[in-house]
Amino acid sequence: MKLLKESLGNVTLLTLKGEFDSFVTNAFGNEIAKIQAEGVHRIVLNMAQVKFVNSTALGAVIKARKNCRSAQGDVIISSPSQPVRDAMDSLGLDRLFAICDDDVSALAAIEGTQSIELDDDSDSAVMIHVAEVPRPIVGRLKRLDQTGLECRLTGAPPIKFADGRELRLKFRLPLYRREYFELQALVDRVEASPGGLTLGLRFTEMSDEDRAAIESFVADMNELRKAARGEA
């Protein structure tokens, strides 16, 4: 497989050509690590010319996305070939990844994603509903964008959170909207943190109204913080 890299400011377009299998996952992982070492954590993978992909290779893509999202970035798939699309659909990855039809829309999507880090004293609680536990598991909202959120759980949760697990979330943005957001999400990252766990969750179902509200909240908060720092 060939890897062609194009740097576009704070985004890297990585074009993959050939067979993406277990023999080239190390080379792919090394290339992702180099990109991140350059300070870039937003990556578009063009997979139009990938003739074959296996589960090990897709695992490497999932790992790359986790690493990028942990640095407030993301990985978006552009122009997947039919073998890639079929493999992703069979593993349910079409619900985990943002998939665009072309590079233009993929670059617009990844450049347009703004996130906000919430302070430690934020009172934004995230209630996580799972079938096995009668009461919601409560976490603290730490980061938010229109694609998902990050929350921190204190102590040992009553269940094990695994990648790909479906959850139902309920949370509010105090002083911004009185109504609760009630959204479906998938677990895409689980990290041990001091005194508990940090969960990365990706929204899978969202109304246009909720998406617009979250985008507006994130944009407004970022502008307020810039103003507080005296930035233009």
* pLDDT, position 121: 53
Q: What percent of the chain has pLDDT over 90?
A: 50
Give the strand pairing for 74-78 and 99-100.
Answer: parallel
What the block records as the tokens of 35 is 């990109």
Domain enclosing residue 184, as ranges? 116-228
Does 163 lie in the same domain as 213? yes
What the block records as the tokens of 83 is 């073998």
Is it the case that residue 231 has pLDDT exceeding 70? no
Does 121 lie in the same domain as 65? no
User: What is the pTM (predicted TM-score) of this model?
Assistant: 0.65
Asked which of 96, 111, 126 is the last residue of a domain, the reply is: 111
* CB 10 within 8 Å of CB 40: yes
Does 53 lie in the same domain as 69? yes
How far is 209 from 192, CA to CA, in rounded Å? 33
Through-space distance between the first and last CA atoms of the chain, rounded to whole angstroms: 45
Q: What is the CATH number of the domain that holds 208?
A: 2.40.10.220
Element of type H or E holding 114: none
Does 202 lie in the same domain as 171? yes
Does 126 lie in the same domain as 101? no
Does 33 lie in the same domain as 53? yes
Average pLDDT over residues 180-192: 90
* CB 118 within 8 Å of CB 142: yes
Does 141 lie in the same domain as 86? no
Give the residue among 187, 211, 183 at the shortest CA–CA distance from 96.
187
Does 102 lie in the same domain as 8? yes
Does 106 lie in the same domain as 129? no
How far is 98 from 3, CA to CA, in rounded Å? 21
Per-residue pLDDT of 71-119, as tens digits, reads: 878 999 999 999 999 999 999 888 888 899 989 888 888 877 777 888 6
Asked which of 111, 143, 161 is the last residue of a domain, the reply is: 111
Asked which of 95, 111, 127 is the last residue of a domain, the reply is: 111
DSSP 22: G
Does 39 lie in the same domain as 130? no
Is it the case that residue 191 has pLDDT exceeding 90? no
Q: What is the CATH number of the domain that holds 94?
A: 3.30.750.24
* Residue 177's pLDDT band (cuts 50, 70, 90): confident
Give the residue among 125, 82, 112 at the shortest CA–CA distance from 211.
112
How many domains would you assign to the chain? 2
Q: ∠ CA 43-64-79 to the nearest 5 degrees?
A: 50
Does 99 lie in the same domain as 144? no
Does 152 lie in the same domain as 72? no
Alpha-carbon 93 to chain mean position: 12
